[in-house]
């Protein structure tokens, strides 16, 4: 279908900020610009019963986290990794998404502020995310979290990290995960897919932008290792139930679609939803795009239902 009119308006508003293309900026400039874009599009934060900041031990020091609890008592939990191409983004840029998912799912959401590339290239961001997830599993009782009902999730690079954490948890006897929510995830360093070609320019995230991100994240000679490119894993059996979400006008659409297809072929219970007319990043546009708000709410509801019946 044609581009959603509200999505088009969001893209036009972002263009009106006059920021340079991603590939013409330094990581520090890109981080500042991303924060400005998120702030310009931010909606009023959704109230959540309890929000608290803290840290958990990581492989190179403490990792900041933010915990959202929508209700009292022992809850299922989603460990969430923000998007931003492994280079940009933080707890604040994805605060709205985490609030929305907590409210819709009835689950605790633990947002992880992992180390960023290029200062901390692969596998540092993934190692932080795995360490935080393992800590949540080991400390579930103190967190009032049901250790049998823990999910991982994230958007874009965060979806990539969630997929990698799920594979690591399976391979390294890590925490038992019940679900993974992969929102337009990066799954392979392949810029020749049909979605990369069709959506290379004009829809927010560009092909050259993704090349910039990848070049900062991982050396070329390591980019096809399974944890760097989850689609390259030789065996996807034994992974948790999965929900993959993509957008029609997104260079990463085929990353998500192909990963969902491989998960299904491996016998993993997988739901794949591609959303016509929408663009990369729409989960963070729920305050401006009516359909995005509905999709975020429905994804949260599916997450909550899956974890409560796990």
Active site residues: 156, 250, 280
Enter the tokens of residue 230. Answer: 């989850």
How far, CA to CA in Å, does 276 sit from each of 7, 100, 246, 282, 295?
A: 11, 22, 9, 12, 12
Q: Are 155 and 82 in contact (CB under 8 A)?
A: yes
Residues facing residue 175 across a β-bridge: none
Residue at token pair 């004009």: 202
Q: Are 250 and 280 in contact (CB under 8 A)?
A: yes
The Cα 132–Cα 114 span in angstroms is: 9
CA dihedral 227, 229, 231, 236 (to 10 degrees): 0
Q: Is residue 250 exposed (0-12), middle (13-18) or buried (19+ Cβ within 10 Å)?
A: buried
The Cα 167–Cα 187 span in angstroms is: 12
Residues facing residue 150 across a β-bridge: 77
CA dihedral 143, 145, 146, 152 (to 10 degrees): -120
The Cα 261–Cα 279 span in angstroms is: 21
DSSP-assigned letters across all residues of 149-195: EEEEEEETHHHHHHHHHHHHHHHTT-PPP-EEEEES------TTSHH
- Residue 179 Cα to chain centre, angstroms: 14
The side-by-side arrangement of strands in the sheet containing 75-81 is: 50-58, 61-69, 108-112, 75-81, 145-155, 179-183, 241-249, 270-279
């Amino acid at each position: 279908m044609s581009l959603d009119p509200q999505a088009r308006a969001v893209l036009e508003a972002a263009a009106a900020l006059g920021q340079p293309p991603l590939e013409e900026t330094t990581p520090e400039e890109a981080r500042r610009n991303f924060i400005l874009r998120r702030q310009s599009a931010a909606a009023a934060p959704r109230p959540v019963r309890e929000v608290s900041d803290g840290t958990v031990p990581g492989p190179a020091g403490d990792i900041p986290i933010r915990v959202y609890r929508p209700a009292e008592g022992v809850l299922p939990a989603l460990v969430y990794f923000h998007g931003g191409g492994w280079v940009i983004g933080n707890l604040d840029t994805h605060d709205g998404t985490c609030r929305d998912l907590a409210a819709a799912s009835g689950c605790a959401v633990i947002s992880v502020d992992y180390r960023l590339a290029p200062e901390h290239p692969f596998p540092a961001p993934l190692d932080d995310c795995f360490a935080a997830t393992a800590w949540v599993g080991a400390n579930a009782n103190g967190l009032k979290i049901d250790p049998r009902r823990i999910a991982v999730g994230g958007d874009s690079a965060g979806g990539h990290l969630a997929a990698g954490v799920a594979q690591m948890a399976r391979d390294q006897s890590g925490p038992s995960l019940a679900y993974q929510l992969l929102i337009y995830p990066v799954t392979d360093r392949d810029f020749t897919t049909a979605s990369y070609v069709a959506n290379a320019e004009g829809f927010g995230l560009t092909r050259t932008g993704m090349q910039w991100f990848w070049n900062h994240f991982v050396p070329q000679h390591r980019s096809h290792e399974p944890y760097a490119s989850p689609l390259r894993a030789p065996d996807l059996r034994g992974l948790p139930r999965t929900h993959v979400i993509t957008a029609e006008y997104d260079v990463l659409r085929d990353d998500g679609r192909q990963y969902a297809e491989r998960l299904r072929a491996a016998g993993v219970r997988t739901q794949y939803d591609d959303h016509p007319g929408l663009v990369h990043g729409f989960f963070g546009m729920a305050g401006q795009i009516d359909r995005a708000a509905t999709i975020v709410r429905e994804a949260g509801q599916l997450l909550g239902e899956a974890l409560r019946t796990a």
